């Protein structure tokens, strides 16, 4: 949903998008207002809009080699971003495409520019965007 001017809210409290993990990638644009995350599964942390599609800049996505996949792992603690070890360039990242049913290499989405490492070849042919469904 796109508004030319923000809607008026009776309580003067705008909707909260921070609960949807998709907001970590795109600032809440397109997230459903007042989303409440579920439990148990990764996908339950995304609103219905973000479960359908999340678009991120390709420059923030790196395909991992087998060796890198052993070093860049998602922590089981609450939260979207993981912190890369300083000896691997630091920064915040999230690993995707890493479950049993996924095809292709594990992918790291970085919050900002990825560290300058010898990454595998880019995973997609598109020069601009990667589409991933959580």
Hey, what are 65's tokens?
């080699």
- Residue 83 belongs to what H/E stretch? strand 82-83
Give me the pLDDT at residue 63, please: 92
pLDDT score of 5 more than 50: no
Nearest CA to 80 out of 2, 17, 15 is that of 17
Comparing 109 with 19, which gets the higher pLDDT?
Answer: 109
Predicted model pTM: 0.71
| DSSP letter assigned to residue 122 | P
Question: How many helices (H) and strands (E) are present in the chain, helices listed first?
Answer: 3, 6
In tens, the pLDDT along 69-127 reads 888 989 877 788 999 988 889 999 999 988 888 888 899 999 999 998 888 765 544 44
């Amino acid at each position: 949903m796109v508004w030319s001017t923000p809607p008026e809210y009776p309580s003067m409290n705008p909707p909260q998008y921070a609960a949807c993990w998709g907001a970590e990638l795109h600032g809440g644009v397109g997230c459903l207002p007042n989303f409440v995350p579920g439990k148990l599964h990764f996908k339950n942390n995304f609103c219905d809009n973000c479960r359908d599609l999340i678009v991120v800049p390709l420059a923030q996505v790196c395909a991992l080699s087998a060796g890198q996949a052993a070093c860049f792992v998602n922590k089981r603690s609450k939260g979207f971003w993981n912190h890369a070890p300083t000896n691997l360039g630091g920064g915040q990242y999230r690993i995707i495409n890493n479950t049993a049913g996924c095809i292709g290499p594990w992918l790291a989405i970085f919050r900002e520019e990825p560290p300058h490492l010898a990454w595998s070849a880019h995973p997609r042919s598109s020069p601009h965007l990667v589409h991933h469904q959580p």
